[in-house]
Amino acid sequence: MMSEIKLHDKTFVPFINESQISEAVKKIATEIEDYAKDETVIFISVLKGSFVFTSDLAKVYQNDAIFDFIRLKSYDGTNTSGKVEVLLDLDRSIEGKKIVVLEDVVDTGNTLVKIVELLKNKNPKEVKIAALFYKPEAYKKDINIDFIGMEIPNKFIVGYGLDYDELGRNLPEIYQLKEMASNKRMADIILFGPPGAGKGTQAQIIKDKLGLTYIATGDLFRHNIKHQTELGKQAQVYIDRGDLVPDEITIEMLKDAVYKDPNARGFIFDGFPRTVKQAEFLDQLLAEKDLIIDALLSLNVADERIVNRLVERGKTSGRSDDNEETIKHRLRQYYEKTAAVKEYYDQQGKLHEVDGVGSIEEVNNRLLNVIKNLKLRGEK
């Protein structure tokens, strides 16, 4: 299990795990294969950071390819006209060839401009850029990034070739700098209820009003299914039947989502936990971060209403599990496996029952009233 690490004087928290990285590398490899057609591409790996990415890409890239390496030292990293020294240059001519530059991460794009300038002077046929990680918020240049493994927020990252003052390159996963938890932490809340109780609608509004990070495991699964990731393929069979996805798969995905936002002001969980095992896991995960669930808000809606709501929703939602038969099965699953989660938090004195029948605004006001009256961690 990934956990916090220390490099020099700083603490880093897990951010992107090995399987997410390898999906991103494969995506790039496939796109470059399409681009290369039957030509031999020359990959130019930008050292030092790209050595791990280059090595993994080499193992999955299926066409012929040549690998070369370049290493630059920039004296003025913030100024595009600043001087750049070439510490290691290419060992062959690239004239008339298709070039793909391999970058571990592209942020401002300053180094990239230098590299492209240098390469274009050597008269290649074409220069394309592949970035395993790309920070759109930081990128300031016009050069097109042709192949992107994954877009990430503008955070300082280490691992998988990337360093903090030379340490951390050998970590198989990506970590991000831990920022000190803000003392303005709002609340960590579970929005609970049977399928169709209105959790998603309400959570979205509460999230915006309170500035919380919204995590909906159902949405995460659907996102993975849409992109046909390994996780998506595994989950799809269960979801289509209206069964719960096994705890191990769900827990792993949830953990990644929580780790992705180490600086959250609080989380609002929708559709998780759905079993007592998941609830125990969540408590443990938060405890590691010195956090705790403040409340479970349970939206109460009668079964008949729920079936009607979901059948209606099914007409436009495009969800494969919003048909009458699957809806009934999902409700059974709720009573058999999920309802116990309510008791689990009731025993901790955290259960708050809220009437889920009424207009969106009415229900929302009831929920916000409960949240307003919570005794939050920061005040204890």
Active-site residues, by number, are 199, 274, 313, 319, 330
What is the distance between the alpha carbons of residues 168 and 150, in angstroms, rounded to a whole number?
20
Q: How far is the CB of 289 from ligand AMP (least distance, A)?
A: 19
How far apart, in whole angstroms, are the C-alpha atoms of residue 334 and residue 321? 14
Q: Per CB under 6 A, does 272 bind ligand AMP?
A: yes
Q: What is the CA radius of gyration of the chain?
A: 25
In the complex, minimum distance from the CB of residue 48 to ligand AMP, in angstroms, rounded to a whole number:
41
Between 168 and 194, CB nearer to ligand AMP: 194
Our CB check for ligand AMP shows the closer of 36 and 245 to be 245
Q: Which of residues 329-348 bind ligand AMP (CB under 6 A)?
A: 330
284: which residues sit within 8 A by CB, 6+ positions away? none
Kindly state the smallest distance separating residue 228's Cβ from ligand AMP, in Å: 16
User: Which residues, numbered 34-93, are part of the site for ligand AMP (CB under 6 A)?
Assistant: none
Residue identified by tokens 């913030």 is 78
Residue type (1 letter), 378: G
By beta-carbon distance, which residue lies closest to ligand AMP? 218
User: Of 136-195, which residues contact ligand AMP (CB under 6 A)?
Assistant: 195
Shortest distance in whole angstroms from residue 247 CB to ligand AMP: 7
Nearer to ligand AMP, 132 or 239 (CB): 239
- Binding residues for ligand AMP, rule CB under 6 A, total 17
Report the DSSP pairing between strands 157-158 and 5-7: unpaired
Give CA separation, 53 vs 86, 138, 352, in Å.
21, 21, 48
Distance CA 371, CA 352 (A): 10
Decide if 58 contacts 26 (C-beta within 8 A). Answer: no
Task: HSE, CB side, 13 Å, CA atoms: give it for residue 165.
Answer: 5
Q: Residue 19: count other Cβ atoms within 10 Å of its Cβ.
A: 14
- Sketch the per residue contact string, 279 through 318, with ligand AMP: x for CB under 6 A, - otherwise: ----------------------------------------
Work out how close the CB of 238 gets to ligand AMP at its nearest, in angstroms, rounded to a whole number: 5
Measured between alpha carbons, how far is 250 from 220 in angstroms, rounded to an integer? 10
- What is the strand order of the sheet 65-74 is part of? 84-88, 65-74, 41-47, 98-106, 126-134, 147-151
Report, in Å, the least distance between residue 304 CB and ligand AMP.
18
Rounded-to-integer distance, Cα 49 and Cα 115, Å: 14
- Of 1-9, 98-106, 235-243, 344-352, which segment contacts ligand AMP by CB under 6 A? 235-243
Determine which residue in the list 271, 282, 299, 350 makes contact with ligand AMP, applying CB under 6 A: 271
Residues 242-261 touching ligand AMP, rule: CB under 6 A, are 242-245, 250
Residues 19, 232: Cα–Cα separation, whole Å: 13
Stretch that binds ligand AMP, among 97-105, 138-146, 164-172, 266-274 (CB under 6 A): 266-274
Neighbours of 10 (CB within 10 A): 15
Residue 311 beta carbon to ligand AMP: minimum distance, rounded to whole angstroms: 14
List the beta strands (DSSP E) in 196-273: 213-216, 267-270
Closer to ligand AMP by Cβ: residue 165 or 240: 240
- Tell which positions 202-231 bind ligand AMP, by CB under 6 A: 217-218, 221
Can you give the binding site for ligand AMP, defined by CB under 6 A? 195, 217-218, 221, 238-239, 242-245, 250, 271-272, 274, 278, 321, 330
